[in-house]
Amino acid sequence: MSHESGTRTTVAADAPSDRPPSVDVLARSLSGTGLPHPVLVDIARAAIAAGEPDSAAHRAALFRRTLLTPVVNATGVLLHTNLGRAPVAHAQNARAQTVEFDLTTGERGSRQRAVGQLFARLCGAETAMVVNNNAAAVLLVVAALAEGREVAVSRGESVEIGGAFRVPEVMEQSGARLVDVGTTNRTRLADYRRAMARPGADIAMVLKVHPSNYRIEGFVEDTPVTQLAELDVPVVADIGSGLLDANVPWLPGAPPAWLADEPAAAQTIAAGAALVTFSADKLLGGPQAGIIAGNAALVARCASHPLARALRPGGLVLAALQDLALAYLGREVTERVPFWRMVAVSVAELEARARAVVEQVGAVGGADAMRVVATDALPGAGSAPGVTMASFGVELDGDHLAALRAHATPVIARVRDDRTVLDLRSVDPSDDATLVDALRALA
């Protein structure tokens, strides 16, 4: 409505306007999300451009869900690759540390010395070094020891693992040439000898690869490291999952049955492997890294290769690995390494926790909608393929995965036969209260 006064025209203050809000005003209205203002400006601008300024808050919530977010892993997969594999707690003061400084001489020191000497001790090796993951460890070893030459690999071990990591492609990138030995299901020592004796052979090393995430059963045969060590070239064993010692001396009692066929660093080196490589964020229970351990001269060749600088870890990872190694050496693994704490918890304790969760939540959707169930947990991340460990959890009728993920602290569960299962072996006891809150919210 307009009012005329002489020659002046004014518009009433309450007249409707089709003009969108300013980007800055809309962005500031989202400050409660905790996102930085520049990000909120981008979100506000996108909402306005779409003609949906009211969608800005929803867009901000969706953006936050794209960021790294702490979750409760109730899948029963202890080393869940999509959830960061081994859960690690590490903190350090914002101070300089001796990453490459020798306190004795006051000169530049080795980035590898501190952690390398500890893992050498744990593996029974002459020395060890660290790179940023196990794929990098294999790449570096092959490049340093066999560039321009041949590497013998059993056809049954020329594998592809997660993330499209293929042994033949690693060979290609390293500059070495792959020589297939034996057959997919059976490879004998004589097959390696035949490959080495063929005309023009130039085999620099034998690479033995742990299949990791699959298993071949039936009419099979492989060549153990003890036999491969009889050959006239170094044997490098990629044991993958990072079990340090098959005797598992950090756990009370006998080693868990599910580890029976898992290769271990100490025993593989004792059997004659010149080098072993393995992941730090699987059965070792640490941050993402790759360990190369074994013969000092061969490790030195790896450390001096140009790729070593590109693949080296930073001080934060080295500090976390040092803490981890000291926990193993001090026999404090179940107290300080979350993965092995999850492994060590008894089935009876898991059942008691599951019953406590059900009792605290009460019935959701009916008296029989939620129940305590026995489950089978998995080591995960390609460790001990095909084996499980007994566990307990909570089961709900229907698929509630999306609702659980939408909880304030997201809960990641699994569905089987249209039933949602929350397995407690992969849940820290301190997170049981979060499970109770998330399950109550389903009501």
118-152 per-position pLDDT tens digit: 999 999 999 999 999 999 999 999 999 999 999 99
| Residue 152: predicted pLDDT | 94
Mean residue pLDDT of the chain comes to: 90
Question: Under a CB-based contact definition with an 8 Å cutoff, are residues 238 and 382 in contact?
Answer: no
Assess whether pLDDT exceeds 70 at residue 89: yes
| Residue 6: predicted pLDDT | 42
C-alpha–C-alpha distance, residues 312 and 94, integer Å:
21
Tokens coding 181: 């030995």
- What fold characterizes domain 72-87+345-441? Aspartate Aminotransferase, domain 1 (3.90.1150)
Predicted structure pTM score? 0.89
Name residue 141's amino acid: V
Domain with CATH 3.90.1150.180 in the chain: 72-87+345-441
* Beta-bridge partner residues of 332: none
Report the relative pairing of strands 389-397 and 419-423 from DSSP bridges: antiparallel
Which among 320, 408, 379 is positioned nearest to 69, based on CA atoms?
408
| Residue 35: predicted pLDDT | 96
Assess whether pLDDT exceeds 90 at residue 8: no
| Residue 2: predicted pLDDT | 42
Q: How many CB atoms lie within 10 A of CB 336?
A: 16
* Beta-bridge partner residues of 108: 101
Question: Under a CB-based contact definition with an 8 Å cutoff, are residues 222 and 154 in contact?
Answer: yes
- Per-residue model confidence as pLDDT tens digits over 246-261: 999 999 888 998 898 8
DSSP sequence for 98-124 = -SSB-TTTSSB--TTHHHHHHHHHHHT
Assess whether pLDDT exceeds 80 at residue 163: no
The single-letter DSSP state of residue 257 is: G
Question: Under a CB-based contact definition with an 8 Å cutoff, are residues 263 and 243 in contact?
Answer: yes
Q: What is the mean pLDDT of residues 269-284?
A: 97
Cβ within 8 Å of residue 352, ≥6 positions away: none
| Residue 380: predicted pLDDT | 84
Residue 413's φ and ψ, nearest 5 degrees, are: -120, -165
| Residue 217: predicted pLDDT | 72
The number of helix segments (H) and strand segments (E) in the chain equals 17, 17
Which among 429, 135, 172 is positioned nearest to 292, based on CA atoms?
135
* pLDDT band of 183, cuts 50, 70, 90: confident
Assess whether pLDDT exceeds 70 at residue 17: no
Report the alpha-carbon angle 262-268-274, nearest 5.
140
CATH class, domain 113-337, is alpha beta
Q: What is the mean pLDDT of residues 197-202?
A: 93
Name residue 144's amino acid: A
- Per-residue model confidence as pLDDT tens digits over 40-62: 999 999 999 999 999 999 999 99
* pLDDT band of 4, cuts 50, 70, 90: very low
- Per-residue model confidence as pLDDT tens digits over 324-373: 999 999 999 999 999 999 999 999 999 999 999 999 998 655 445 889 99
Q: What is the mean pLDDT of residues 290-297?
A: 98
Q: At 237, is the secondary structure helix, strand, or coil?
A: strand
Assess whether pLDDT exceeds 70 at residue 428: yes
Q: What is the mean pLDDT of residues 266-289?
A: 97
Domain with CATH 3.40.640.10 in the chain: 113-337
Q: What is the mean pLDDT of residues 90-111?
A: 92
